Structure 1
Amino acid sequence: MSDVISADRRLGVNPSRSLSRRVSVRLAAVLFVLWGTITVTFLVLSVLPGDRATILLNITSGQVIERTPEELAPINAQYGFDQPIAQQYLNYFWQLLQGKLGYSFELQRPVTHIIAEQLLPTFTLAITALLLAWLIAIPWTLLTAGRSNKLGALGSAVETLLAGLPQYWIGILLLIVFAIGLRWFPVVGGVTLWGTVLPAITLAIPLAGFIGHAIRGEFERSMQQPFVLSARARGMSLAGVRLRHVLRHALIPAITLSGWAIGNLLSGAVLVEAVFARPGLGNVLVNAVSNKDFALVSGIVILISSLYIIINLVVDLIYLIVDPRLRGRV
């Protein structure tokens, strides 16, 4: 690290200023991506088939019937559905800037209250699956990477197989075998620890394949570096070198991958929560899309996107801490 800072100073580069500039660029990119997500979400929901005023009246009345223009006019005026699409977008964006996600006409409740109730089960499931994926990937990599060609090929093949497994297929298989057949776990998943095991495993298995593959490539490259021979010459055991030195270098790509993994897990939770009948944002989002509940859908999508973007930003900062060589780059 001191060598990097000294080199930057010789080149006339202030490391602190360079790091601040890098963080500023990342923050600007985050704001741009978030704006793009909000805009695309608005446009997609606006062009979905079905009249929002008709759906709203049918939900509130409990009758699915055709509505006359006279019935729809006051609803369109109240919610601004009769305004030009550009004006609707500006009104929508202004409300978001004020922290207002809107009101769910399906559930007749503020969107923020609905999300607050359902966020914890979904986020808990995603984080548990991520930790479980790491617990699977690291021991498997240490066991098979950087050893014989046959063992390395076996490890890589298993990781490729795991990464390609569909989450819904894994969930149904685990449900049939361990919940219905062996009755070790509840059929209907809940928010308890026991009810979280199968959904977490369902999400973790494919992710473990991706993380293991990312660690393996860097692990095998690091095994060829001079510091391995130097550590061995100092009397350190091969297991100690692999665990204390090589693994640290190999974790950097996987740390970066974890930022993407959170977004993937949050989206994958939609299927998993449906398979295990588990409470969370997934089931709420599916129902909101089918009923064209604009405020609720956009609120959930914006929340998940924001979490995904913020987590990736944090991962980038962790990346700078783990690898000081990147601190002088912009």
Structure 2
Amino acid sequence: MVRKLAGLVATLLATSFVIFAASYAAPGDPVTFLAGGKENLTPEHLAAIRAQYHLDDPFLVQYGRWLGDALTGDLGRSTQYHDQVADLMAARLPSTLGLVAYASVLFVVFGIALGVLAAVRGGRTDSAVVAGTTFATSVPAFVTATVLISLFGVQLGWFPVMGGGSLWHLTLPAVTLALGALAIISRVTRQSMIEQRELDHVSVARAGGLSERLIVVRHVFRGALGPIVTMCGLVTAGMLAGTVTVETAFGLNGIGSLLVNAINTHDFPVTQAVLLLMVTAYIAVTTAVELLHPLIDPRVRSRA
């Protein structure tokens, strides 16, 4: 446990360093962006900006100050919105979390269902599921968003296509975000169940006269649950970054669209804070899945 916590802290430190360094390695002088893009500023004004943001300090000193402030909840002030970054993120985070939660429910329910159906039925059903999920994986999110907006939003008028935070507004964005993840989960479920069906204890249960339905539920699906839960956690952890494209396409005011605007306007404090949040969330979720896996699959606990 101590080793895992030390590795987690080291990963977060390394990631935060890369994020801070990448932001200041962007083309252009940070002073120009911090000054609001104004040109022909006096040397005195430029010097005041450098002093205000400690830009004349050594790089490691700047990084240490930024990291220390971030640990206390001070993420700086946005150069575009002229507001505290923490307040901006707090206002937009519920929309993004709602979208991720909605999409997670969709891909978990339908992904596992399709995977079970393909593994149990086999034949043409299996081929159809594999072909469908392969196609879903190959379609970029922005293409899916465009098709859904055009068909269900504009032509049929069933769903709103821009803005809003209600469940109805989030349906098309959630479907877009969940489609690729659904394909991954269905494949993992299918493969895990096929592997479980070939194990000896399943053959013994079948030879003992147990019904096929009970065999699937008690032995096959239960044995395949470990890899399925692990992959669901990993996919959910990566979804926060996937909201960038979806929120931009549907005009949602979430963390993803905030990141896009910050990058376009060189709003370094917002860019750094959002990236740090995404990486921290990913590491936290993957660590939780790793700790949960032995509780789901006793075989992992026995090998540890």
Q: Is the TM-score greater than 0.5?
A: yes
Contact 1:54 1:67 in 2 (8 A): no
Aligned to 2:73: 99
Give 2:233's match in structure 1, choosing from 217, 235, 259: 259
Contact 1:146 1:223 in 2 (8 A): no
In 2, the alpha carbon distance for the partners of 1:171 and 1:79 equals 40
Q: TM-score, normalised by structure 2?
A: 0.93
In 2, the alpha carbon distance for the partners of 1:249 and 1:283 equals 40
Aligned to 2:184: 210
> Does 1:280 pair with 2:254?
yes
| 263-272 vs 83-92, greater mean Cα deviation | 83-92
In 1, the alpha carbon distance for the partners of 2:123 and 2:161 equals 42
Q: CA deviation at 1:108?
A: 1.7
How many positions carry a matched residue from both structures?
A: 304
Q: CA deviation at 1:234?
A: 4.2
Aligned to 2:138: 164
> Does 1:78 pair with 2:56?
no
Aligned to 1:14: none
| 90-99 vs 46-55, greater mean Cα deviation | 90-99
Aligned to 2:279: 305
In 2, the alpha carbon distance for the partners of 1:100 and 1:219 equals 48
Contact 1:320 1:326 in 2 (8 A): yes
> Does 1:151 pair with 2:125?
yes
Q: Any unmatched runs of 5+ in structure 2?
A: none
1:213-242 residue CA offsets vs partner (Å, 9 max, x unmatched): 111111101111122233334443212321
1:169-198 residue CA offsets vs partner (Å, 9 max, x unmatched): 111100000001100011213110100100
Aligned amino acid, residue 136 of structure 2: L
Relative contact order, higher structure (CA 8 A, sep 6+): 1
Q: TM-score, normalised by structure 1?
A: 0.86
In 1, the alpha carbon distance for the partners of 2:171 and 2:125 equals 30
Aligned amino acid, residue 18 of structure 2: V
Runs of 4+ more than 6 Å apart: none
CA-based RMSD: 1.8
1:268-303 residue CA offsets vs partner (Å, 9 max, x unmatched): 101100100011011111111122222211111111
Aligned amino acid, residue 38 of structure 1: S
> Does 1:41 pair with 2:19?
yes
Q: Any unmatched runs of 5+ in structure 1?
A: 1-22
In 2, the alpha carbon distance for the partners of 1:24 and 1:135 equals 35
